[in-house]
Amino acid sequence: MKKIAFLLLLSLQFQVFATDFNVLKYGAKADGITKDTEAVQKAIDACTKNGGGKVIIPAGKTVVVGTIYLKDFVTLHIENGASLLGSPEYKDYTTDTHYNTYKDEPHMDRCLIFASEAKSFTIEGNGIINGNGSPKNFNKKNGGRPMLLRFYKCSDIKLKNVTLKDPAAWTSAWLYCNEIVVSGIKIISRVNHNGDGLDFDGCTNVRVSDSSFDNSDDSICLQASNAAYPCKNITVTNCVFTTKWGGMRIGLASRGDFESVTVSNCTFFDIQDSGLKIQMNEGGEMKNMSFSNLVMKNVPRPVFMTFCQQRAGVDMPKEMFPMKAMDGFIFSDLIVDNRELDKNSAFFITGMPGHNIEDIQLNNIQMTVSGGGTKTDAENLIKEYTLETLGNWWPEFSKVGTLPASGIFARHIDGLSITNFHLNTIDEDFRPTIVLDDVSNGYVSNAFLNRKEIRKKEIIRK
């Protein structure tokens, strides 16, 4: 009886080990110098052929690779203390990994980890994926700057607990994927330019939670570069953002539709451009989004929202599609502390003449700003067509100029409700707190400036 039990235990142990594929057993040197691309790929191929399992990057080891390809049912497990390190040579990154969908950026076409039409795969562990992306290694002159991860038309993907560090370009691009879970990750992407964090393009059923972002560009970006693939059913919660650019951007590449997005329980700090950038450009429709329980410190524009026409995607036809619609947005329970920033620290929301953004709520917002706006600033007229005449680039706040409002500037909107809005200024500001320009069906209730209620006649309507 004991012999049978021993054999059963041995059999179970064999089954466990049979689903683990340690890259060392497939020839990896793991010395931080030798390129182990072939060994790692052999382990991945054996794993998927086996029907699934774990490809192990072992603790205490640094495994250097060029482009590797993830496949069905593979879990790439990077143990605590282990590093998967990108090769410093551009030639080690292959050319069959799709391409960057933004215009004028083919230098970011290559990537370190790629998957195409794969299902049920995972990247996990407490180790590090390091892109080795210093400009010394990767720049336009020496060929280009590979992204860290790119997944094309994949399903059932999990990214858990790993640290993604120092990509030469974007950290990740998820193209037309479905069923995505990202949790407990850390992204550090400051070593090179355009260091986006998570870019979901035409993806559905996406959940991002409990993660931190430190980026040189947008931390999370939702896009829809292909009209056949909407970006919808997205949740982001319990995350921390700091970046040189935007905390979370929705749009720009926007041939397809955007729908059903929630962002909650997040903090944003030391962001140089905007917290939430929501921008419809290329003919899709954007609707039904909720942003709640957010705290922002040193975030110049908590919300920067535009509706205009610009060509952002590399596959976008020269002829622009007609503008459709942006409608159904709620921003609720926000605390914004911008007392250390300049006077352009307001909410900025604008449609276009004849193309209104519809149905927006701003509820329960506590905001502190430096103030300092002059009487001349208060009379500043933002040109009607500022965002329509940008030429070949997309709308950014630098094209706008000083705002004539200290708290909220809203233009070309049908259906705007502002309730329980509290603005405190450190220095005196001669601009009105709220300016509504071409706003139909606008409603303001319980608005306060330095703890004193703002009278309706103090809200400027043009």
Distance CA 361, CA 320 (A): 30
**At 426, is the secondary structure helix, strand, or coil?**
coil
Which two tokens mark 112? 């370190």
Which two tokens mark 110? 């290559």
Q: What is the pLDDT of residue 390?
A: 56
What is the number of other CB atoms lying within 10 angstroms of the CB of residue 90? 18
Contact between residue 293 and residue 333 where contact means Cβ atoms under 8 Å apart: yes
Contact between residue 243 and residue 271 where contact means Cβ atoms under 8 Å apart: yes
pLDDT, mean of residues 335-340: 97
DSSP per-residue codes, 311-356: --BTT--SSPPPP-EEEEEEEEEEEEEETTS-S--SEEEE-BTTB-
Q: Does residue 2 register a pLDDT over 60? A: no
Q: Does residue 261 register a pLDDT over 90? A: yes
Average pLDDT, the chain: 93
Which two tokens mark 236? 């982001």
**Confidence at 391, pLDDT banded by 50, 70, 90:** low
φ/ψ of residue 229, rounded to 5: -125, 100
Lowest mean pLDDT across 65-69, 177-181, 311-315, 329-333:
311-315
Distance CA 75, CA 162 (A): 13
**Confidence at 9, pLDDT banded by 50, 70, 90:** very low
**Confidence at 11, pLDDT banded by 50, 70, 90:** very low
Q: Could you say which DSSP state residue 40 is in? A: H
Which residues neighbour 380 within 8 Å (Cβ) at sequence distance 6 or greater?
401, 402, 403, 404
Secondary structure, 3-state, 65-101: ECCEECCCCEEEEECCCCEEEECCCHHHCCCCCCCCC
Contact between residue 305 and residue 289 where contact means Cβ atoms under 8 Å apart: no
What's this model's pTM, rounded to 2 decimal places?
Answer: 0.94
Contact between residue 416 and residue 385 where contact means Cβ atoms under 8 Å apart: no
Q: Compute the chain's Rg from CA coordinates.
A: 24
Distance CA 219, CA 242 (A): 8
Q: Does residue 453 register a pLDDT over 90? A: yes
Q: Could you say which DSSP state residue 457 is in? A: G
Pick the more confident residue, 377 or 74.
74
Q: What is the pLDDT of residue 103?
A: 86
The percent of residues in the chain predicted with pLDDT above 70, rounded, is 94
Domains (range + CATH), the chain: 20-461 (2.160.20.10)
Q: Does residue 15 register a pLDDT over 80? A: no
Query: Model confidence over 394-414: pLDDT tens digits?
Result: 788 887 888 899 999 999 999
Strands 178-183 and 155-160: parallel
What is the number of other CB atoms lying within 10 angstroms of the CB of residue 448? 15
Query: Model confidence over 266-316: pLDDT tens digits?
Result: 999 999 999 999 999 899 999 999 999 999 999 999 999 999 888 888 988
Find where tokens 């979901």 sit: 200
Q: What angle do CA 67, 72, 78 make, to 5 degrees?
A: 55
DSSP per-residue codes, 192-224: SSS--SEEEES-EEEEEES-EEEESS-SEEEEE
Lowest mean pLDDT across 32-46, 213-227, 308-322:
308-322
pLDDT, mean of residues 325-345: 96
**Confidence at 388, pLDDT banded by 50, 70, 90:** low
pLDDT, mean of residues 60-81: 98
